Structure 1
Amino acid sequence: MRLALASGAATLAVSFTLYPLFATGAWFWYALGAILTVTALGAGASRFSIPDWAVLPAGLVGLTMYTTAAFSRDQAWLWVFPTFDSVAEVAALWALGFDDIQRYAAPVPASQGIIALTTAGVGLIALLVDLFAARMRLAALAGLPLLALFTVPAAVITEPLAWPSFIIAALGYLVLLLADGRERVNRWGRAVLARRQAGGSDSPATQPHVGALKLSGKRIGFAAIALAVLVPTALPTLSPNPLFGFGVGGGLGRGSNTITIPNPIAGLRGQLELPAKATVLSYTSSDAAPRYLRLWSLDTFNGDEFQMTAPTGRPEDRVGAGGRLPPAPGLSPSVAMRTNELGVEVSPDINRLEFLPLPYNTTSVDIEGDWRADRSTLVVFSTTELAAGQSYRVTTVEPEPTARTLDGAAAPPDDIKTRYLQLPDDLPEEIRELAVRETAGARTPFRKAVELQNWFTRRGGFTYSLATGGHGSSALIDFLMHTRTGYCEQFAVSMAVLSRVLGIPARVAIGYTGGTRVGDRWEVSTRDTHAWPELYFEGVGWLAFEPTPAGSAGQGSARVPAYTRIAEPSDDTERPGDTAAERNSEPDEADPSAAPATRGQGPLDREGTSSSTAVEEEFPVIAWVGVGVGAVALLLLVPAFARVVMRFRRLRAMSVPVAAREDVAVPYGRAVEVRSAGREGAVTRVWAELDDMLYDYGMSREPSESPRALARRLSEGNAFGPEAAEAVKRITAAIERLMFARDPGGTAVGAADLKLVRAALAASVGRRRRWRAALLPPSTLRRLGSVGTRLLDVFDRLESLEIRRATARR
């Protein structure tokens, strides 16, 4: 039974490492139920001597019944017995969990699919640990399934695992090994029962005398944990392989002709949920205005998510050293243009980023290395270079269309429609009806696009939140029809799908918003990670739209494009503000100092002025070092603080007599009933304090040493003066009277005697021992160790039940 319980405890300890993978802790209670189910079955099998070969099938049956009760009880018989419908529902949840895991980056939302998958996985790990440790008696081999569980968060999350979770997991494994060690010692022969005195009365204990083995095992185990935690701090670190340099992502082999496209959607929310804001890049622009910076362009929609077609980079499309990009698709020379130059500096801390953050439409990039542009999307990438630490110059030519130009846009060419109007055949009809209904009053594709944007940002009652889940068409319907709560990915994908329903070519761009202005530069951080839709209009090309709510109710760095702010959706005449000159005089993205506009009606005011603004400062490294040193110092002082508190409580209790009948427990045997326990209680506290002081200064009392023998030993040395020797004699005489005299009256003892003895003890030892007694008192450490020992003794008490039962049978 001990090994079954230890197996469950080890699995539970290692499962704590899964916490960083989830946005909430709902998964833990389901996983805990699975562990308790497996542990209860394993302990019961050990208790009633069930054959080992039958335990694993029984555990699988029990785990199946628990999973049924937790996730499909309505379809089950009596809530726990599986039926065909309940099994199908659980299987569907697992499939949904697999899809959601591929879709989201850690921390993932607590969807039922992910929770069901996690519960089954943790339950199977618990079964394997019980099989190896309790059935096959191979506790060390049980570390393999525990290691498999431990490596899941280590392989998925980009940040290192927190050291407390590692220590908890390691201690859980050590408990399992210790329990196995006790089982093996018991097999050497019959356990010799020792009698232990606790609280003054004899009580049998069924613990073999394996103290030396326990001590060696504890030392080895704790030393291994300490080395595992401390040694890596002195070793060089390895660089992660994240998306945007800070999250999940793919990479490519350096020097190859291929590039592996990461899943941008999977890491998007992870970037927005990072606990600390990390700088990705900074840039300057010739007009001092912010720019959205694209990394990827997602063009294919499979019904579940938008994905990116692998870009192609021909030799003639190589950029760098002033090389020009291919012309932007669909852009007519008759449209007014505005030229701008940017100077971009990418943080050197970004890793494995093979795409350059660039505004659309970029015409040239001045950068070192072999970088190439994809002709259809104008994303710039490299199979041999990385963006980390790069500095480059960018020239952009941005169209400034009027409402009349956009209203009069011709039909897109066939190649654009074929690629960017594709929708799955099983797209729900509710989505198609919604797109038509919300744009019923618009005549042109451009006006319909504006109506969609206004519906998301103004009329539709949408709110911004990272706490979302689900995938596919059902999740799309749920977002558009019911919850209307999501983050930028949901808004961008939804508007792109609705636009395609209306016959407007659409794709999803992923990159960064313009960032925060600091001095004459714009700083872009992981919090500015963003997704937005791009819609195609012949003669103007691809234009960005912004359906994500902004301001305090949404993503604060999002900006509504100026060309979408039209006053009269039904008016097709040229109006003031439709011309480029008049639009440039309005508050828009080019003027960061403009007054804040209503959400969905204008650009966001970043800080209220165009001057340098206060931004979140990084915590200095030296400050973190100081905090760490202070935390370690406080942790090391915990035993000393506990010792001071214990001494204070004893001394304080000595001065407060207790006028009530009580049993006073004293060493060496029996409890003496007294009428007034004030003075007698003070004697026992003085004796306990003396015992701790002797232990702290390395002169601890032997178990067989009587109080009088102790006084003689301390007084005979040269270290104790006459006053200290007399104080010791008074204390020992008082405890002897309390132990053996019918009337425990006699010489009173108190704090003054303890003070004399403490001074004599401190004078009799070296400085190192005095410092240890003050800062790391052994008496306190002994108590802390006894707590762990008592926890382990729970297993012994459980075993004693079996021994007593076997004895009763004989």
Structure 2
Amino acid sequence: MRLSIASALATLCAAALLYQLFEGAGWLWTSIGAVLTVLAASVLSGRLSLPTWAAGLVSLAGLGVFLTASFAGEKAWLLVVPTKGSLAELAALVGTGWEDIQRFAAPVPGDLPGISLLTSGGVGLIAVTVDLLAARMRRAALAGLPILALATVPATILPDPISWPAFVLAALGFTGLLVADGRERVGHWGRAVLVRSTRPAADAPADAQGGAVGDTRGLRLSGKRIGFAAIVLAVLVPAMVPPLQPVSFFTFGVGGAGSGGRGNSISIPNPVTSLRGQLELPARRTVMTYTSDDDRPRYLRIFALDTFNGEQFSMTNPEGEPENRTSEGPLPPPPGLTGAVPVSSVTTDITVSEEVANLEFLPLPYAPATVNVEGDWRADVDTLMVFSTRDNASGLRYQVTTTEPRPTAARLRALPDTPPSIDERYLQLPGDFPDDIRALARRVTAGAESRYDSAVRLQEWFTKTGNFTYNLRTQGHSTSALRDFLLSSRTGFCEQFAMSMALLARSLGIPARVAIGYTGGVKTGAQWTVSTSDSHSWPELYFEGAGWLAFEPTPSGLAGQGSARVPDYSVPQEEPEDDAASAPTPGATDRGEESAPESAGAGQRNADDREALLQPAATVEDEPMPVALRIAIGVAALALVLLIPAAIRVVTRRRRVRALGRTGTVPPGQPGHVGVRASGGEKVQVAAAWAELDDVLHDYGMARGASETPRALARRLTRQYEFDAESAAALTAITDSVERALFARVPGPSAPLGGELKRVRRALAATVSRGRRIRAVLLPPSTLRRFRALGESLLDGFDRLENIRLRRTAGRRT
């Protein structure tokens, strides 16, 4: 009972690691109930002295009853006994919970029934496994593996490190399990014997039977000392070791006041992951609202990803010097923007929702000139991203004045195609960038007279002529995924469209980067409202004289991103150079009388499409993967894992068969004898035959005794299983060769043993049941024995270390 309680406590302590993944405590109470149910089942199995396999079934049955009563009690018999209806309800909740986990980013709502069912069921299964390993099989050390599985869940999902108090609690739970197991093992031997004593034996107190009671406190405490020391080191050492320099946009440095370089650091979630997570949220949530003095929608940029590593775009570490604080006056001028293109000044008032958490970058229209905001916010010179290492944008109200280029197609076409004076990272592509992608870019832009014309043709190819479709159910952003998107499937969402156009532009010599933020949203009353479904990604291309200009390759309207809008300057049409007729940013819709009727109509249609997209009936969504298919995939993966021992056994057997197939000499009197003494190859053949015979015996449950000689083994097997004369002769030939190899001074030549070993294996297989033969193939005990021996040797290493310490102590006393 002690080990059962310790197993339950260790599982609960490890489950505390999951708290960072959830909002609310619904998952916690159901998980505690699941663990307590498994504990009750374990205690019952111990009272009834059930075998290990039966104890496992009882625990699983108890867990099933608890989950049924907690989540499907209304459809169960007497609220607890599972029925067909309750099982169907649980299966539906599992599917719902899986979809919820895919839709929400951590922390997810822990009070949702589906998520609570998956969490409590998973913790319950971990509790069953830990109880079987520790309390039934007496392998407490191996019980740390399922406990470790709980720790890997938050470690692989969350960008932040695991909370150290939760780690300490989990480690203490596992240490307590090991201590309980040690007490159980010592208790089975009776009274403790003398290990070491600081007093003479004559002074030792006597027990009731007159025996000496040794001082075993050092032995009892050594395991605890090691465990606690390991926990302390695991917590303190990482805190004292300097962190490694980050290599991606997950963390980056910011220059501090007076530092002259990078000082404080901030962490942000993966922009692409956050983008997709918001697009897939089941309900629209308001992110921010804004008004502008010209009442036009504007894209609000948060991140600018400028480097491509062959797999995905990432962000160069932004630098914010003290003189670039927003409170110090105007921000640095926009790179590349000169007098060749007219500009306008627009003021926008933005209010960020209080529901937005951990946002350390300000959503801003490009290009910001001044930002009136409270707090220590700084601008990066190259990208004009505004960020802070101390403040958060949640619930923040601020005002931004932007210097917006107002180009026309004619002005952009007239810009000189001289090499741009900009950092080469905006043109960099990996050395293995596919040649067919480069050829595709040249083919799409064939005949273009300028870089601007090439950019427009790329945008048209994505939005019109390339037959692309918008779909959130896509995965991957590696080179292979890029080729599949551009050359095969042509299905994706804004991430694929933006990154693909940026890469194609770079292959044509046009500097490009990827922006992530929000589209202009929809008009609600006197203000514009931006929601989670307006999360977006778009490319920005650089033109000398005009600076960075946004393009829109993602389809819009009902068939795509509803609030995405193509900027007027990218419309390929000749028009008079009327500065007031062009949009300052993508998404702007001219409302003045100088606007062209076509542009106004297009803007109104886009607005109508956006309103239609917000209706539930207009949502375009692929069918999710059926729950049955997901379960089948999981079962197939589990089967592959379980077949690993069988695969190892097959590889080992084939290696030995190849050794048996080598040509060897034949004993005198046999056909083919040439009178050559035994060679190294024959010794290898004998060793392979003996090892394979030993594994076959172990697989069939006929393991050789530790003191049983090869000759005695042959006699026992022949008599016990009544081998025929041919099988008995084959077994004798193998054991005779082994004895000569082991004990003879001159072993002499040996005949090939492959045929004899095959006959013996068939004879042994004929004496066992079909189930035993199937187990020998699918889950061979000989391979499992090696796994167990490897684990025991690793654990024995710690015992050897302690024995060395004790011997050295005794030597000093001597």
Quickly name the TM-score band, shorter chain normalised.
Answer: 0.3 to 0.5
TM-score (norm 2): 0.46
TM-score (norm 1): 0.46
Structure ranking higher on relative contact order (CA contacts 8 Å, 6+ apart): 1
